[in-house]
Homo-oligomer: A and B are copies of this chain.
Amino acid sequence: MSLIVVGSMAFDEIETPFGKSGKIIGGSATFIAWTAANFVQPINQVSVVGSDFPQAELNALAAKGVALDGVQIKKDRPSFYWAGKYHMDMNTRDTLVTELNVLGDFEPVIPDSYQGSEFLVLGNLSPQVQISVINQLKVRPKLIVLDTMNFWMETALDDLKKVLTMVDVLMVNDGEARQLSGEYSLVKAAHKILSMGPRYLIIKKGEHGALLFHENHVFFAPALPLEDVFDPTGAGDTFAGGFIGHLAKTKDISFENMKTAIIVGSAMASFCVEKFGTGRLREITQEDISARLEEFVELVNFDIDLV
């Protein structure tokens, strides 16, 4: 049931039509860990922070079942910092500030205690770092999930193509799927991307849900229709955390179980957007998660007689 999570741990500063967050905790690995730890423990975290990263945050993660042996703390250097502003539709945003800081020259080191982990999720980071992690593992995990973004398609396409041949599941959003494949139709895009390496492709469409492609099969998971989306930051990472968390918990990597995992990911993402940053993820209980999953069943379940 062991799961390695690789990604950023950072500071975010977010502005939405609903307000300003101030400087809060963010980062892909942070969101994934807070989410996946509801399903499986320990989370074997791999990341890097500066000396400004609050010890209280590290303690809170440890208390949630997150192992921090693989989290490097760089003395006298600042953590990764991102500031962004969402537009009225909450689907588009402008990046105001990106300061890589300790992430700029991050060289991940996998602790011995993490070796033998069965699941690996590579959160959005440079493909080179992602490759380095895979290469350090003595036994290949049962399932490797990769998240990436358009930035790496534009600046490190060769490395990205290489890491695509090393993973099982790729997660991208619809725009990124189109950019990576050169195809507008998501079905055509999916077929092209599946020929690049991963056996499974998840295309995230934000408020419009997510598609899972595998061979000639396709599965669709909706997003929960919400009164308000308060802050979408980290929703994709939270989705990844729920997805891998469910798979690692059940140890079943069949296509059928991946469908369920995507619903779990969607349910977890629907919590994430209710407050700034990881605020809502820190509060939720197993009962909250079960109730939300029930809402998803209600949302898509129908009876039909196929004669």
Query: A residues touching B (Cβ–Cβ < 8 Å)?
Result: 88-89, 184-188, 205, 208-209, 211, 217-222, 225-229, 256, 259-260, 262-264, 290, 293-294, 296-304, 306-307
3 nearest A-B pairs in the assembled complex, by CB-CB distance: A259-B302, A208-B208, A220-B222
Contact, CB under 8 Å: B226 / A187: yes
Q: Please determine whether A303 and B208 come into contact, CB atoms closer than 8 angstroms.
A: no
B-chain residues with CB within 8 Å of residue A228 when the two chains form the complex: 185, 188
User: How many whole Å from A80's CB to the nearest CB in chain B?
Assistant: 32
Chain B residues with CB under 8 A of A256 = 302-303
20 contacts between A and B (CB under 8 A): A185-B227, A185-B228, A188-B227, A208-B208, A208-B209, A218-B298, A219-B300, A220-B222, A220-B225, A220-B300, A222-B222, A256-B302, A256-B303, A259-B302, A260-B303, A260-B304, A263-B304, A290-B306, A293-B306, A297-B306
B188, B227, B302: the one contacting A263 at CB < 8 Å is: B302
CB-defined contacts of A307 to chain B, threshold 8 Å = 290
Q: Are A302 and B89 in contact (CB under 8 A)?
A: no
Give complex CA distance A220, B226 in Å. Answer: 13
Residue of B187, B259, B262, B304 near A227 (CB, 8 A) is: B187
Note all chain B residues with C-beta closer than 8 A to A259.
Answer: 301-303
Write the chain B residue with the least CB distance to A303. B260
| Assembly CA distance A77 to B205 (angstroms) | 47
Q: Is the CB of B185 within 8 A of A226?
A: yes
Q: Mostly helix, strand, loop or mixed at chain A's interface?
A: mixed
Say which residue of B188, B218, B260, B299 sits within 8 Å of A219 (CB atoms). B299
- The answer to whether A211 touches B186 (Cβ under 8 A) is no
Q: Is the CB–CB distance between A302 and B187 below 8 Å?
A: no
Minimum CB distance partner of A205 in chain B: B208
User: What's the nearest-Cβ distance from chain B to residue A17, in Å?
Assistant: 9
Q: Which residues of B contact A219 (CB under 8 A)?
A: 298-300, 302
Pairwise interchain contact B222-A209, C-beta atoms closer than 8 A: yes
* Most B CB within 10 A of own CB, among A184, A187, A225, A301: A225
Q: Is the CB of B225 within 8 A of A186?
A: yes
Given A290-B306, A290-B307, A307-B290: A299 in contact with B185 (beta carbons within 8 A): no
CA–CA, A264 to B220, complex, Å? 17
Q: How many Å lie between the Cα of A260 and that of B300 in the bound state?
A: 10
| Cβ-defined contact, A184 with B89, below 8 A | yes
Most buried by B among A219, A300, A301: A300
Chain B residues near A297 (CB, 8 Å)? 304, 306
Are B304 and A293 within 8 A (Cβ)? Answer: yes
A218's nearest neighbour on chain B, judged by CB, is B225
Q: Are B303 and A300 in contact (CB under 8 A)?
A: no
A185 CB to closest chain B CB (Å) equals 6
- Say which residue of B226, B260, B294, B298 sits within 8 Å of A217 (CB atoms): B298
Which chain B residue lies CB-closest to A296? B304
Apart from A185-B228, A259-B302, what 17 extra A-B contacts exist at CB < 8 Å?
A89-B184, A185-B227, A186-B225, A187-B225, A188-B227, A209-B209, A209-B222, A218-B225, A218-B298, A219-B302, A220-B222, A222-B222, A259-B301, A259-B303, A293-B304, A293-B306, A300-B300
